[in-house]
């Protein structure tokens, strides 16, 4: 074996691990703050309600800068941008831990957000360009697990760190992980560039404005009393999306070419991701809320109840390739979405007197099928993209996922507030959660119809060659 082929083999072994590290840090940081906000607020002499800015600033920065990730990687190389993003994310984490007031924390979270917005899309782009289509499913499958584990471990790790150490450690934990990622990136991250690079600044600004407005409206949707200004921001976001569509039709080289949507598998993957995550993304928020509010249990207890989701996700990882090879993407995604929706509906069955342990097997099985869902949706979205489409397509998938998670959380909270203020619940807050799970579950089942647009043969080029 030559030195070049040995090096290529090493890169193929380590690259999924590098991407997994990046995804884990980003997903952990999106959720770890939730259980820690009261403690940070007390230390910084702020109201806990004002601390939402520390979460919103991070999410908005991700939404705004993700569209530029493909261009920056093509222009400066995947290696330089990926290592730059890790350095920025680690520095932002350090600044967060040193923050003396809320303004310092928000600025530090923005620095973290810029790093996070480049880290995952650029790592994923390097993966797509390194692996052949028939190897990509296995590689992506390994790297995607942290996306399932992060949101589950975040509240649990955050709760324990605040209780037994201090809130500063929820940020300091990123620094050794980031340092490991930088070392591995320097040695194993391939440096892909594109010779034909022309940045569509106007398109970037229009799309960034649309992402920003949609993200702000999602963050504010929980305030059901002042729904009119929130709806106006939401509608304005969609108007900017339409403005971008008109711009992309005229522009010779737009940041997200419209020909991406002529690729049927990409189109179905994007829409399916948005539709099914409405239900999937709301569960890790709604269930801990119900355990704490209705069952009067601690944040750590609620974290432990949903933690089996992370373990079973790993088992789903080992099964998904065999399932897709046997049944294909169309059948797998339609059946899997139905199962996920049914499991969410089952969360509505226990009443207030039922043991909390009733939820554990449902959550455990849900983690397994979520793993299959995410791997399948992510890989079918890129299955038929041409080489010149991978950078922009991959960036758009990342932005879409970020918005889809936000939509899911906001949607779950809106449905919960609607039932909370209705006569159906007979004054029992627990019933509001039960009806919410039922509504979200039924809509998840219906979202599976999106995948009927796939053909039976779709994704055949992704089939693993050495099973």
26 Cβ neighbours under 8 A, 6+ residues apart: 89, 116, 119, 120, 150
- Residue 465's pLDDT is what? 46
Q: Cα–Cα distance between 198 and 183 in angstroms, integer?
A: 31
Indicate the pTM of the whole model.
0.78
Give the 3-state secondary structure of residue 197: coil
Cα separations in angstroms, 40 against 87, 197, 245, 254, 301: 24, 44, 42, 42, 20
Cα separations in angstroms, 337 against 82, 280, 449: 33, 10, 9
424 Cβ neighbours under 8 A, 6+ residues apart: 431, 435
Q: How is residue 151 annotated by DSSP?
A: H
Cβ atoms 213, 236 nearer than 8 A: yes
Give the 3-state secondary structure of residue 101: coil
Cβ atoms 302, 342 nearer than 8 A: no
- Residue 87's pLDDT is what? 93
348 Cβ neighbours under 8 A, 6+ residues apart: 433, 434, 435, 437, 438, 441
Residue 259 Ramachandran class (φ > 0 left, ψ -120 to 50 alpha, else beta): alpha
- Residue 166's pLDDT is what? 74
Assign domain 1-197 to its CATH superfamily. MFS general substrate transporter like domains (1.20.1250.20)
Cβ atoms 136, 127 nearer than 8 A: yes
Rounded to the nearest 10 degrees, how much is the dihedral formed by the CA atoms of 108, 111, 117, 118? -140
Long-range residue pairs from 164-168, CB within 8 A, at least 24 positions apart, any chain? 166/39, 167/36, 167/39, 167/40, 167/43, 168/97
- Residue 8's pLDDT is what? 66
Per-residue pLDDT 10s for the chain (467 aa) are 555 666 667 777 777 778 877 877 777 776 666 666 667 777 777 765 566 667 777 877 887 888 888 778 888 888 889 999 999 999 999 998 888 888 888 889 889 989 988 888 888 888 888 877 777 777 777 776 666 666 666 667 766 776 677 778 878 888 888 888 888 888 878 888 776 667 777 888 888 888 888 877 776 765 556 667 778 888 898 899 899 889 888 877 788 888 888 888 888 989 998 889 888 888 877 887 788 778 877 767 777 777 787 778 777 777 888 888 888 889 999 999 999 999 999 998 877 777 778 888 998 899 889 888 988 888 888 777 787 777 778 778 878 887 787 778 778 878 888 887 777 677 677 788 888 999 999 999 999 999 998 888 877 766 554 44
Closest CA to 293 of 373, 374, 215, 352: 352
Closest CA to 341 of 319, 370, 313: 370
Q: Cα–Cα distance between 401 and 374 in angstroms, integer?
A: 10
Give the 3-state secondary structure of residue 345: helix
Cα separations in angstroms, 428 against 297, 359, 420: 16, 19, 9
Upper half-sphere CA count for residue 340 (Cβ side, 13 Å): 31
Cβ atoms 145, 317 nearer than 8 A: yes
Closest CA to 399 of 131, 212, 166, 268: 212
The end-to-end CA distance of the chain, in Å, is 23
Q: Cα–Cα distance between 31 and 382 in angstroms, integer?
A: 27
Element (H, E) at 106: helix 102-130
Cβ atoms 89, 112 nearer than 8 A: yes
What is 259-467's CATH number, 1.20.1250.20, 3.30.70.980, 3.40.50.300, 1.25.60.10? 1.20.1250.20
């Amino acid at each position: 074996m030559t030195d070049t082929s040995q090096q290529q083999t090493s890169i193929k072994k380590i690259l999924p691990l590098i991407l997994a590290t990046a995804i884990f840090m980003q997903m952990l940081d999106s959720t770890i703050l939730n259980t820690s906000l009261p403690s940070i607020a007390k230390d910084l002499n702020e109201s806990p309600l004002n601390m939402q800015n520390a979460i919103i600033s991070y999410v908005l920065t991700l939404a705004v800068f993700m569209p530029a990730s493909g261009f920056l990687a093509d222009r400066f190389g995947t290696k330089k941008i990926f290592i730059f993003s890790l350095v920025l994310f680690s520095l932002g984490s350090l600044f967060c831990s040193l923050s003396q007031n809320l303004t310092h924390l928000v600025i530090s979270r923005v620095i973290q957000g810029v790093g996070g917005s480049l880290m995952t899309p650029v790592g994923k782009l390097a993966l797509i360009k390194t692996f052949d289509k028939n190897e990509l499913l296995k590689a992506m499958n390994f790297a995607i697990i942290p996306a399932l584990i992060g949101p589950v471990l975040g509240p649990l790790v955050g709760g324990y760190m605040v209780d037994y150490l201090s809130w500063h450690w929820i940020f300091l934990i990123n620094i050794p992980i980031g340092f490991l990622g930088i070392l591995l990136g320097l040695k194993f991250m391939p440096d892909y560039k594109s010779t034909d690079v022309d940045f569509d600044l106007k398109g970037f600004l229009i799309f960034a404005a649309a992402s920003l407005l949609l993200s702000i409206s999602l963050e504010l949707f929980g305030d059901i009393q002042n729904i009119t200004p929130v709806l106006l921001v939401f509608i304005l976001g969609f108007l900017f999306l339409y403005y971008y569509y008109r711009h992309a039709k005229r522009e010779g080289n737009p940041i997200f070419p419209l020909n991406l949507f002529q690729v049927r598998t990409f189109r179905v993957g994007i829409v399916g991701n948005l539709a099914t995550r409405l239900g999937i993304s709301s569960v890790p928020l709604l269930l801990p809320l119900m355990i704490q509010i209705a069952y009067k249990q601690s944040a750590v207890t609620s974290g432990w109840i949903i933690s089996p989701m992370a373990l079973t996700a790993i088992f789903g990882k080992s099964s998904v390739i065999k399932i897709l090879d046997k049944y294909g993407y169309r059948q797998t995604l339609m059946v899997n979405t139905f199962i996920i929706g049914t499991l969410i509906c089952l969360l509505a069955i226990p009443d207030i007197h039922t043991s909390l342990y009733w939820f554990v097997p449902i959550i455990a099985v849900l983690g397994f099928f979520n793993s299959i869902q995410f791997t399948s949706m992510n890989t079918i979205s890129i299955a038929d993209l041409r080489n010149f489409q991978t950078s922009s397509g991959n960036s758009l998938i990342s932005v879409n996922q970020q918005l889809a998670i936000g939509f899911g959380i906001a949607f779950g909270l809106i449905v919960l507030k609607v039932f909370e203020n209705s006569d159906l619940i007979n004054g029992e807050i627990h019933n509001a959660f039960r009806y919410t799970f039922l509504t979200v579950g039924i809509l998840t089942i219906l979202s599976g119809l999106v995948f009927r647009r796939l053909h039976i043969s779709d994704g055949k080029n992704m089939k693993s060659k050495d099973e």
